[in-house]
Amino acid sequence: MLKALLVDHHDSFTHNIKAWLKPRFAVSIVDYTEVEKINALEFDLIIFSPGPKTPSDYPLSKNFLKAVPMNKPVLGICLGMQMMNEIENGTVSEYFPPVHGKTSSLVSTLTQFNNLQVARYHSLKCEIAATFETIASSESIPMIVRHKQKNWLGLQFHPESFLTEKPEKFLQAVVELCSR
């Protein structure tokens, strides 16, 4: 079984993410304040969880992400995706009105994600850095992004939410990320 590290940014969905990953990954959770003690090489996948506030409120997580080897698979969910984007010189700004517990339909270049309903809980949005490609969007907001050189995948929505349609499709995409 693949080993995953879930960096917890004190989000209420952290344990739901662990449960979502559990069929395919042995998941260890670490508090973001302790992340500097972790060796990224011990894991097959690193996940940066959702959380409150903005990416700039988590310098320890951002420094850890910057130090992760380029070929290491990384998944950013909501805040995690925003962190990845900010590190790569993309911008993160307020999204008004905030979206909490709303489903939206994806418009995707990949047929397996096109028209799927996903759960959104966010008050920020990304202007994607040039180093990313947008795989899916909703209401002109990037929802799935992939880094062009690094093994990074970002999801603005919550794949672990009961409101997300066919969460197993997103889990399979994460497994495939680990096999690149």
Q: What is the CATH number of the domain that holds 38?
A: 3.40.50.880
Q: How many CB atoms lie within 10 A of CB 30?
A: 16
> pTM of the prediction?
0.96
What confidence score (pLDDT) does residue 174 get?
86
3-class DSSP assignment, residue 26: strand
What confidence score (pLDDT) does residue 177 get?
80
Please determine, for residue 179, whether its predicted confidence score (pLDDT) is greater than 80: no
Instruction: Quote the CA–CA distance of 17 and 114 in Å, as a whole number.
Output: 22
The total of structural domains in the chain comes to 1
Instruction: Quote the CA–CA distance of 77 and 81 in Å, as a whole number.
Output: 5
* Enzyme catalytic residues: 78, 158, 160
3-class DSSP assignment, residue 27: strand
CB 119 within 8 A of CB 17: no
pLDDT, tens digit, for every residue of 73-129? 999 999 999 999 999 999 999 998 989 999 999 999 888 899 999 999 999 999 999
Nearest Cα to 44, choosing from 19, 67, 14, 75? Answer: 75
pLDDT, tens digit, for every residue of 7-57? 999 998 899 999 999 999 999 999 999 999 999 999 999 999 999 999 999
What is the phi-psi region of residue 94: left when phi exceeds 0, alpha when psi lies from -120 to 50, beta otherwise?
beta
What confidence score (pLDDT) does residue 160 get?
94
Please give the residue range of the domain that contains residue 115. 2-178
* Banded model confidence at residue 175, pLDDT cuts 50, 70, 90: confident
What confidence score (pLDDT) does residue 159 get?
94
- Which position has the token pair 């499709």? 169
What confidence score (pLDDT) does residue 80 get?
98
